[in-house]
Structure 1
Amino acid sequence: MTDDRPPGTAHRHLTAPAVPDTVDRAHQELELLWAEAPLVGDLDRMRFELAVIEVLANVVEHAYGDDREDPADGAHGARGVDLDLAVEADRLVAVLHDDGIRAELDLSRVSMPGEDAESGRGLALTLATVDELEYRREDGRNLWRLVCLRQD
């Protein structure tokens, strides 16, 4: 099969259960993405990785509420995530789908918590590093879309 992508672009996909080990797998996919698109600058890589990992970690931790049953048991659907990572000519894009509960949040109201807070920085950090962050519920699944405009 020939690769019809424009030069300098790349794409990776990960389908995995919504468990902490998946965050490590996402790091590996990002490394493979950078190997396919070596001209992406360090600053763009760092801010994109931070945002992707923060959102994914939030999904793993919060998308299934307080339910801590085995994600493979089928009791609550697939309990999985699909992560698409793309390097385009002018941007880096991540789209994450999960089949967890609806996230009850207003992204326009997300802010950095006080310095004594032990959690709650993930989405605030993400908003500080990306150019676009979108969340919506679509076909019974959560969709997160992150865009970093390339500065390199």
Structure 2
Amino acid sequence: MTEVIASRGFRGPSNEEAIEAIHNELDALWDDASFVPDMDRMTFATAVIEAAANIVQHALPVAEKPVEIDVDISVRPTRLVARVSAFNAREPFANDMQASMPDSDAESGRGLALIEALVTTVTFERQDGTNTWILTRDT
């Protein structure tokens, strides 16, 4: 297992305030891992925020409990890793998981394609009412 040099996280209600809190956690993470190149910081942070924003905008609760978002971000010597989870969420539709870019006049649907363009790998897991996207970027 690769050593974790710095980590940050957030868990709370899936709402617009969560996005601001995740931005703040990313800013604090870069303070602890100042050696990460600016381009890697920018692209990785954009991918993490896009994944979180997709949850805030599109995740539907599986029952009466509201959707919660959980983001766990870590810096390793040669890799950035984020686990972005939606707790109490329905499974995304299959077409929500397609990474192709929509037509130029489409108003949405670019999220996953953008994320995949910014990171090295994107994987998806579903377990016990939780959807988790794992994003990695090699540095």
Sequence identity of aligned pairs in percent?
39
4+ residue segments displaced more than 2 Å: 105-109
What is the distance in 2 between the residues matched to 1:119 and 1:17? 23
What is the distance in 2 between the residues matched to 1:57 and 1:147? 18
Q: Which residue of 2 aligns with 1:71?
A: none
- Note if 1:76 corresponds to 2:69: no
2:129 to 123, 130, 140: 140
Q: For residue 132 of structure 1, report the CA deviation from its aligned partner.
A: 0.6
Q: Secondary structure at the match of 1:43?
A: helix
1:1-152 correspondence runs (5 A): 9-64=5-60, 76-99=64-87, 100-105=89-94, 109-150=98-139
What is the distance in 1 between the residues matched to 2:97 and 2:14? 26
Tell me, which stretches of 5 or more residues in structure 1 are unaligned? 68-74
Q: For residue 108 of structure 1, report the CA deviation from its aligned partner.
A: 7.5
What is the distance in 1 between the residues matched to 2:42 and 2:129? 31
Q: Secondary structure at the match of 2:94?
A: coil
Q: For residue 13 of structure 1, report the CA deviation from its aligned partner.
A: 1.3
Bigger fraction of residues in helix:
2
- Please say if residues 84 and 132 of structure 2, whose CA atoms lie closer than 8 Å, have aligned partners that are also in contact: yes
Q: Mean alpha-carbon deviation: is it higher for 81-90 or for 56-65?
A: 56-65
Q: What are the Cα deviations for residues 96-149 of structure 1, in whole angstroms up to 9, with x where unaligned?
A: 221211112368842111221111111110011111101121122111100000
What is the distance in 1 between the residues matched to 2:26 and 2:94? 27
TM-score, normalised to structure 1, is 0.82
- Please say if residues 15 and 56 of structure 2, whose CA atoms lie closer than 8 Å, have aligned partners that are also in contact: yes
* Matched letter for residue 111 of structure 2: G
What is the distance in 1 between the residues matched to 2:77 and 2:135? 16
Structure 1 residues 134 and 106, CA gap change in structure 2 (3 angstroms): farther
